[in-house]
């Protein structure tokens, strides 16, 4: 039988990416954490971790980590079913993109804690990459824009988010005195999320025929940072409509172009899993319905529909 203390050590190292941080998390020495991992690897007969910086799981380690995530929540299900008191708060790991976390998803952790006593362990990644985190076994569900059909996973349409560029009135006066046009956009500083952020490039290329290297830009890996940069007048930013709705309404920011881009969000989850996962998915879908626009049909949506069989 697998030692629960060894499994806990493995989960902590994978989650935190470091033996040192895992030791602090568990209140153990690094040596003790290392010994527990080695004991597990001896039982499985192969390495479960790649000792890099950060530490990452091997394919076998991913499978064990997925087992740990499921086992913890299944134990919670059992305690609820039998009326036993919960031993500890359990975590549910979900991969989510930054714009969702800054807007409609922000209340999901509170909903999960208040209704089910669950702690949220959110893995932040680009909207096109969250599904890969789920496929790796590191989370139980993911929110993103890909609608791939993946064996062993279920997919649900969540709704759509519209993005449009905004800027402060002062920025508009300085950089767009004659309106937004190609020449002005080649000179005006923008803000992008990072090297995996394709949304701004897609917007400029589609509506203004401007390529990725043809405009100055800040790199700020924060959805909230986009709004701050726009308010401070150091850039214009392509923002999610729910995030800037009030600021545009009160005149703090201005929508500078009639063009917009729409991203359709999809929730993926493991087909088989603990019972509580059904409730988690229901809460995420309810939060999306309260804020997001209905899921548009192709070709109105910007991201391709994929072949997912939606639940």
pLDDT > 90? residue 78: no
Domain boundary among 83, 116, 134: 83
In a domain? residue 63: yes
State the Cα–Cα distance between residues 226 and 189, nearest whole angstrom: 12
**227 in a domain, yes or no?**
yes
In a domain, 309, yes or no: no
Greater pLDDT, 71 or 35: 35
Classify residue 169: in a domain, yes or no: yes
In this predicted structure, the answer to whether residue 301 has a pLDDT above a threshold of 80 is no
What local confidence, expressed as pLDDT, does residue 299 receive?
41
The answer, yes or no, to whether residue 304 has pLDDT greater than 50, is no
What integer best gives the mean pLDDT of the chain?
89
Average pLDDT over residues 5-13: 91
Please determine, for residue 303, whether its predicted confidence score (pLDDT) is greater than 70.
no
Last residue of a domain, one of 62, 83, 104: 83
Domain extent at residue 222:
161-262
The predicted pLDDT at position 137 comes to 84
Residue 136 lies in a domain: no
User: What pTM, to 2 d.p., does this model score?
Assistant: 0.77
Confidence of residue 310 (pLDDT cuts 50, 70, 90): low
Q: Is residue 120 part of a domain?
A: no
CATH assignment at residue 249? 3.40.190.10
> What's the domain count of the chain?
2
| pLDDT score recorded for residue 277 | 92
Classify residue 12: in a domain, yes or no: yes
Domain closes at, from 31, 64, 83: 83
Is residue 304 in some structural domain?
no
CATH number at residue 22: 1.10.10.10
- Greater confidence (29 vs 213) lies with 29
């Amino acid at each position: 039988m697998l030692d629960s203390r060894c499994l806990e050590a493995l989960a902590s190292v994978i989650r935190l990416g470091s033996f040192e941080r895992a030791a602090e998390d568990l209140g153990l020495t690094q040596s003790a954490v290392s010994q527990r991992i080695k004991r597990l690897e001896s039982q499985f007969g192969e390495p479960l971790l790649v000792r890099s910086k950060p530490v990452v799981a091997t394919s076998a380690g991913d499978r064990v980590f997925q087992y740990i995530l499921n086992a913890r929540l299944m134990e919670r299900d059992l305690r609820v079913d039998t009326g036993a008191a919960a031993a500890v708060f359990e975590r549910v790991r979900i991969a989510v993109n930054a714009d969702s976390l800054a807007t409609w998803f922000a209340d999901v952790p509170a909903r999960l804690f208040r209704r089910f006593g669950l702690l949220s362990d959110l893995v932040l990644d680009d909207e096109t990459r969250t599904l890969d985190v789920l496929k790796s076994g590191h989370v139980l569900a993911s929110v993103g824009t890909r609608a791939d059909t993946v064996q062993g996973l279920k997919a649900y349409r969540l709704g759509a988010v519209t993005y449009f560029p905004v800027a402060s009135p002062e920025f508009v006066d300085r950089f767009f005195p004659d309106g937004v046009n190609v020449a002005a956009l080649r000179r005006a500083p923008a803000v992008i999320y990072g090297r995996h952020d394709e949304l701004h490039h897609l917007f400029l290329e589609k509506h203004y025929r401007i390529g990725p290297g043809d405009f100055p830009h800040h790199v700020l890996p924060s959805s909230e940072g986009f709004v701050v940069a726009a308010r401070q007048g150091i850039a214009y930013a392509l923002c999610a409509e729910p995030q800037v709705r009030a600021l545009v309404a009160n005149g703090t920011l201005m929508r500078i172009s009639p063009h917009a881009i729409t991203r359709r969000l999809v929730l993926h989850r493991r087909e088989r899993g603990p019972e509580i996962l059904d409730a988690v998915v229901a809460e995420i879908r309810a939060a999306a319905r309260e804020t997001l626009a209905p899921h548009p049909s192709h070709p109105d949506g910007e991201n391709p529909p994929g072949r997912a069989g939606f639940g």
